[in-house]
Amino acid sequence: MNRPEYKRDLYTNYMIFEENENAKDYCARMIINNPINGMLRVERRRIDEKDYYYYDITSRQAIKWLFERGQLNLEQTYRILSGVLTTLEQAQEYLLCEDDFVLDPEYIYLGISNFETRICYLPGYGQDMQKQLLQLTEYLMNKIDYKDEEAIILIYGVNKICSEGTCSFAQLRNHIEECHDGKRRKETASEEKTDAGEKDEDRNRKRRIDHQLKEDVAFEEKKEEAAVTPMKIVLMLLTMAAGVGVAYFVSRTGILFSNRGLYASLIRIFLLMVPLGAVELIAFRFILGLPTANEIVDESEEIPFVFTREEESDADISDGWREYLPVKEEERAIEREEKTGFGAVPAETAKDGGTDTVVLARAQEEGYYLEPSNQNYEKILLAEFPFFVGKLPSGVDGVIENCAVSRFHAKLEKIENEIYLVDLNSTNGTFVNGKRLKCNERIQLNLTDQIHFADVEYRLKYLQC
């Protein structure tokens, strides 16, 4: 298969293959007249008595470029493989030859916004599908994030199935869905566990609140009962008067005085006053509503808490660490400044007369950089290669914040100490000295070359210490 050409027609980017002499006319007419989900939309054009297939790749990026330096997680791997399998399964309904699908990572395209997988069907291609799937999985194995265990299990399982003598789409589908559903089940179980923990915490909190409310209500009731009112004062005075009357009546009978002497009389008076005083105190307690010894209960038995101190300390620790967790946007801003910034970086501060003096960081090491003609944009230091340029902060090395710039706009490569620029299917184009690059076209750059990413102008320069 010859390498394709790339062409832009008005607002559409095309990948162009010349028709193979072994192509079946039925397959060509089928894919042109019946667009199938998951396939690159195609049209056939005849130029100079030769037929060409024009595949629409607008706003899409090939896997080869998208993950040239990145790593694939489980969800991304699942979407790629599931998308490829779904397209192959649908193609069987149209009686298309599965060996005519091109599963080269350079020709499998993904939507940047929705990660939708689209593959190329080239009539007459005729490469064994099982071998293509095996090569694709071997490529993806080198791009997997090896910290993602589920992704490793998924891709190695697919590779093993493809390595066997007999391989069916049903086997691949079952394994892919099983791995993906297993991840979902783990996430669901984790969420249910979290929800259960939150429910227990809410229930404990509610119990604590209810218990506290009951205590408050009981306290207010006791407080109201213990409050001194005019009626209670009257009753207390009457009780005191009754006690005095009883003592006077007893004294009039003469039983308090003894012929044996003063000490005997004092003992008789004491024996009278003790029970009389006890009766008076009981009466006062009853009138004031104070609790008796029998009414005092062990409150620890009534507290319905199940929230332990150990759990509380763990919660406090996790909350305390939250303020130290990194924020993605801040990380990106710092990383972007380290890669592109030539300005001041606070290395240390010194107090001088009550004001902070910022000491600038050491100058950047020597290397190539892109200098903007418009001061509203930052200089871009080409710290490593390949170096990707675009407006998607999470996916590129050099961010250009301009709506005309594509998410993945272009990349710069260093080959034998020479810098090359490649357009990555950008919408508004990449230009060098006024000449627009074709999609995936590589051009060597020279110092002071005028480079345009859409309408943002830069010049290639070299920083020397």
The Cα–Cα gap between 313 and 272 comes to 60
In the prediction, which pLDDT does 278 show? 81
Helix (H) or strand (E) holding 309: helix 309-322
What is the 3-state secondary structure of 151-205?
HHHHHHHHHHHHHCCCCCHHHHHHHHHHHHHHHHHHHHHHHHHHHHHHHHHHHHH
pLDDT at 363 over 80: no
The beta-carbon contacts of 226-229 under 8 Å, at least 24 apart in sequence, are 226/288, 226/289, 226/290, 228/288
Detail the DSSP E strand segments found in 240-329.
none
pLDDT at 347 over 50: no
Mean pLDDT, to the nearest integer, of 376-396? 92
Distances from the Cα of 450 to the Cαs of 54, 328, 379, in angstroms?
Answer: 31, 33, 14
Express each pLDDT in 31-75 by its tens digit: 999 889 999 999 999 999 999 999 999 989 999 998 988 789 999
Residue 241's pLDDT band (boundaries 50, 70, 90)? Answer: confident
Mean pLDDT taken over the chain:
80
pLDDT at 14 over 50: yes
In the prediction, which pLDDT does 197 show? 63
The full DSSP string for 370-397 is: EEESSTTS--EE--SSSEEEES-TTT-S
Q: What percent of the chain has pLDDT over 70?
A: 75
Tokens coding 130: 């099982």
pLDDT at 198 over 50: yes
pLDDT at 362 over 80: no
Q: Are strands 12-18 and 50-56 parallel, antiparallel or unpaired?
A: antiparallel
pLDDT at 408 over 80: yes
Q: What percent of the chain has pLDDT over 90?
A: 49
pLDDT at 11 over 70: yes
Question: What secondary structure letter does DSSP report for 427?
Answer: S
In the prediction, which pLDDT does 293 show? 52
Express each pLDDT in 412-451 by its tens digit: 999 999 999 999 999 999 999 999 999 999 999 999 899 9
Tokens coding 184: 């979902």
In the prediction, which pLDDT does 271 show? 77
pLDDT at 85 over 80: yes
Phi, psi for residue 243 in degrees, rounded to 5: -65, -45
In the prediction, which pLDDT does 389 show? 96
Mean pLDDT, to the nearest integer, of 318-330? 38
Mean pLDDT, to the nearest integer, of 382-396? 92
Question: What secondary structure letter does DSSP report for 46?
Answer: E
Residue 310's pLDDT band (boundaries 50, 70, 90)? Answer: very low
Cβ contact 57:26 at 8 Å: no
Residue 270's pLDDT band (boundaries 50, 70, 90)? Answer: confident
What structural domains does the chain harbor?
5-182 (1.10.510.10), 228-300 (no CATH), 367-463 (2.60.200.20)
Mean pLDDT, to the nearest integer, of 308-329? 37
Q: Are strands 398-399 and 387-390 parallel, antiparallel or unpaired?
A: parallel
The Cα–Cα gap between 362 and 171 comes to 58
Distances from the Cα of 340 to the Cαs of 167, 377, 415, 442, in angstroms?
Answer: 49, 10, 22, 23
Express each pLDDT in 102-133 by its tens digit: 999 999 999 987 889 999 999 999 999 999 99
Instruction: Give the contacts of 375 (CB within 8 A, at least 6 positions apart).
Output: none
What is the 3-state secondary structure of 52-75?
EEEEECCCEEEHHHHCCCCCECHH
Residue 337's pLDDT band (boundaries 50, 70, 90)? Answer: low
Instruction: Give the contacts of 327 (CB within 8 A, at least 6 positions apart).
Output: none
In the prediction, which pLDDT does 380 show? 95
In the prediction, which pLDDT does 340 show? 45
